[in-house]
Amino acid sequence: MSKVIPHSLFTDFDIDLFKAGKHFRLHEKLGAHVAEVDGQKGVYFAVWAPSARNVSVVGDFNYWLQGEHPLNVRWDASGIWEGFIPGVEKGALYKYKIQSNNGSVITEKADPFALYCEKPPHTASVVWDLDYKWKDAKWMGARQNHNALDKPFSVYEVHLGSWKRKGDNQFLTYVELADDLVQYVKETGFTHVEFMPVMEYPYDPSWGYQLVGYFAPTSRFGKPQDFMLLVDKLHQAGIGVILDWVPSHFPSDAHGLGFFDGSHLYEHPDIRKGYHPDWKSLVFNYGRNEVRSFLISNAIFWLQHYHVDGLRVDAVASMLYLDYSRKDGEWEPNIYGGRENLDTISFLKDFNEAVYAHFPDVQTIAEESTSFPMVSRPTYIGGLGFGMKWMMGWMHDTLEYFKKDAIYRKYHQNDLTFSLTYAFTENFMLPLSHDEVVYGKRSILGRMPGDEWQRFANLRLLYGCMFTHPGAKLLFQGAEFGQSEEWNFEQSLDWHLLEYDFHKGIKNTIAALNQLYKSHPALYEKQFSAEGFEWINYGDHENAVISFIRKGNNPKENLIVVCNMTPVVRDDYRIGIPTKGKLTEIFNTDDARFGGSGVGNPSPIKTDAMPWNGREFSAVLKLAPLATIVLRYG
């Protein structure tokens, strides 16, 4: 094997951007790149290790011997070590052997910019490329129409390792998922899928939220091009792809980012800011410019090379607050005496500005559980710049309400209606996510009270409320057919349940709700605006009934929604309506095809010139038990 040849992909401008925290395509410079130099084919390696005394590339091409292929440190104090090694080919295994400045630490590290990793528990990086012939030009050319905030946004959250498995409890590959998952999402009608982290991670019980290979899709399910195929097939089927992204923390595994060059390189050196007590993991140093370049480059990478339509940013609350999960004395206030992490706030604004500048037709979504203001408002008016934010308050209050027996619901109606007092302070996504079906919380179906019929009716009612409530939607795998047990990441979903009518009815309900959502602009055109919602009556506690209007750009297409939270059929229930006309029931979660009792309203429903609920006209409806009904004029 030939010796290292001096070579660089960096310009002076690259280095200036890197040091300023403004280089957002570092993946094109750092890492391992198949190249040809002076007529010789090989690989250019570059790694950031400013506190290293020396750095060597070790791999299966040099018997993992330190010193065989030492890299050269750049002269410009960037801390980048680089060099070209002739003869190394795609598929070669490698790591960086790093000796710290004081000589006391010698470690073997995986490449932070590796495009592909060995299948865990093995930990080497793999020389690879991103060559792939995409066939999703139609989607990419028009995806603004799919990803915009005034379009339907219904997300199916998927854990690739447990959605479905094959014989001997083996994973489906990306290629197999490109057939099975794509077809299933088309059947159920979701507009997008969201993958829990696909970036390489060492520990299965972390569900992917402890990353070591930020630029590599996990090799558990196949090669990088296989994951590209999965995204490609979803796009060809008209389905968007969102990735969970984890800039909040990373594990301390020996081959990962922690103490990378014998110093606190990626993590904050102050344990009060650099260590996460809940997850026993390390926290990025958001105030270090080079780290900001690393993270924002990573976000741009997935959007650029994998055609991803959005990033859901995990654990934003843990990033924003210096005292998050810390006791008095375990955190230090910011320069103004507050608890906000000013470096994080600055970083998140830079991240969102960079993403939307490069890809205006995607969305960033914050999993943020506090009342931090303006998370999904533009940075130029002081916001963090996210496109959407998870509505954790809605999730908590709604599940708390629905677990109560119907006889007690009249005392707790505020739990159901309170979300509308703040629903338009952010661009909210309503999540029923993986976190709500683990650790003894029970499945969504498992929370529902009553006998078997009532439990399934309650679940259909809950989904009816969710899909007619303002905001985007997210549902975790299994919830769409009424998974009975809690989610178990080590096995497949209980697909056999679809042999039973009630579970099949839940799946049919979700498919119909997705179709309703996508086909009626009143449910999405103003889903983040107070102009898109009007209460008819939120105060009928005694009957536990709520009614409201959803509005789009065309008033003639407005919809009326009525939710009966009890198993009592209400034969003559009057609601006020805005204008005279005939009403037609277009959706009812009690429909027999969903497993309901089939109680409904004949068409058309006549309106009366009788004032009610503060409106000039009214109509008398028949309310099905534990059901959401949707009406339109005409």
- pLDDT digits 0-9 by tens, 321-362: 999 999 998 999 999 999 999 999 999 999 999 999 999 999
Residue 73 β-bridge partners: 81
CB-based contacts of 585, cutoff 8 Å, min separation 6: 600, 601, 603, 605, 629, 630, 631
Residue 366 β-bridge partners: 313, 389
Other CB atoms within 10 Å distance of the CB of residue 151: 17
- Measured CA to CA, the distance from residue 93 to residue 88 in angstroms comes to 10
Rg, Å, the chain Cα set:
27
Q: 106-109 and 154-158: which strand pairing?
A: unpaired
- Measured CA to CA, the distance from residue 359 to residue 143 in angstroms comes to 11
Alpha-helix residue ranges (DSSP H) falling in 441-550: 444-447, 452-468, 501-519
Q: Residues 495, 489: contact at Cβ < 8 Å?
A: no
What amino acid occupies position 215? F
pLDDT the model gives residue 263: 94
DSSP string for residues in 399-448:
HHHHTS-GGGGGG-HHHHHGGGGTTTTTTEEEEE-GGGGSTTS--HHHH-
DSSP-derived 3-state class of residue 72: strand
DSSP string for residues in 353-388:
HHHHHH-TT-EEEE---S--TTTTS-GGGT----SE
Tokens of 369: 């559980």
CB-based contacts of 572, cutoff 8 Å, min separation 6: 620, 622
Mean pLDDT of the chain: 96
Sign of CA dihedral 52, 54, 58, 64: negative
Other CB atoms within 10 Å distance of the CB of residue 586: 16
Other CB atoms within 10 Å distance of the CB of residue 518: 17
Domain residue spans of the chain: 12-126, 530-633
pLDDT the model gives residue 143: 95
CATH 2.60.40.1180 fits 530-633, yes or no: yes
How buried is residue 133: exposed, middle or buried, by Cβ count under 10 Å (0-12/13-18/19+)?
exposed
DSSP category for residue 481:
G
Stated as kind and residue range, the H or E segment containing 398 is helix 392-402
CA distances from 156 to 94, 224, 394 (A): 36, 22, 18
Which residues in the chain land under pLDDT 50?
none
DSSP string for residues in 285-331:
-TT-HHHHHHHHHHHHHHHHHS---EEEETTHHHHHBTTTT--TTS-
DSSP category for residue 35:
E
| Catalytic residue list | 314, 367
The H helix count followed by the E strand count for the chain is 14, 31
CB-based contacts of 425, cutoff 8 Å, min separation 6: none
Residue 365 β-bridge partners: 312, 388
Other CB atoms within 10 Å distance of the CB of residue 609: 8
Tokens of 426: 């952010």
DSSP string for residues in 136-168:
-HHHHHHTHHHHSTTS--EEEEE-TTTS-EEGG
pTM greater than 0.85: yes
3-state helix/strand/coil string of 551-585 = CCCCHHHCEEEEEECCCCCEEEEEEEECCCCCEEE
- Measured CA to CA, the distance from residue 499 to residue 351 in angstroms comes to 46
Q: What is the dihedral of CA 16, 22, 24, 27, to 10 degrees?
A: 40
Listed residue (456, 408, 414) closest to 566, CA to CA: 408
Residue position matching structure tokens 């994951």:
227
Q: Residues 628, 561: contact at Cβ < 8 Å?
A: yes
Listed residue (580, 596, 582) closest to 502, CA to CA: 596
- Measured CA to CA, the distance from residue 476 to residue 195 in angstroms comes to 10
DSSP-derived 3-state class of residue 232: helix
CA atoms within 13 A on the CB side of 323: 10
- Measured CA to CA, the distance from residue 406 to residue 427 in angstroms comes to 31
Domain with residues 12-126, CATH architecture: Sandwich (2.60)
**Burial letters for 554-579: b for 16+ Cβ neighbours within 10 Å, e otherwise?**
eeebbbbbbbbbbbebbeebebbbbe
The C-alpha angle with vertex 437 and arms to 432 and 438, in degrees rounded to 5, equals 140
